[in-house]
Amino acid sequence: MKTVTLSVATRDAVTRRALDAFSGERRGAHISFASADLLWKVLTAKRWGLLKAMTSGGAMTLREAARRAGRDVNYVEF
């Protein structure tokens, strides 16, 4: 199972994390946003519901994630 951390971070913080990664320091996968407004613009209610359905579910297919979220798999995209 892979964990992805979503955060609001400054450009300096993202650059520092990238430089640490290039020098071999592993901190896991991160997706950072410049502001909370941008995070919530990108992470719509439907996307948030899909993430909640996937949380603590272990590895699963896209079809299973859609089923858990009550969504039609044909309208769920990565």
* Segment 37-71, tens digit of pLDDT: 999 999 999 999 998 888 878 888 999 999 999 99
Same-domain pairing of 29 and 48: no
pTM: 0.71
3-class secondary-structure state, position 70: coil
Q: How far apart are CA 17 and CA 23, in angstroms?
A: 10
64, part of any domain: yes
28 plus 49 within the same structural domain: no
Q: Kindly state whether residue 39 falls inside one of the protein's structural domains.
A: no
How many structural domains comprise the chain? Answer: 2
Alpha helices in 1-78 (DSSP H): 11-22, 36-42, 45-54, 62-69
Structural domain containing residue 22: 1-34
* pLDDT per residue as tens digits for the range 9-46: 999 999 999 999 999 988 889 999 999 999 999 999 99
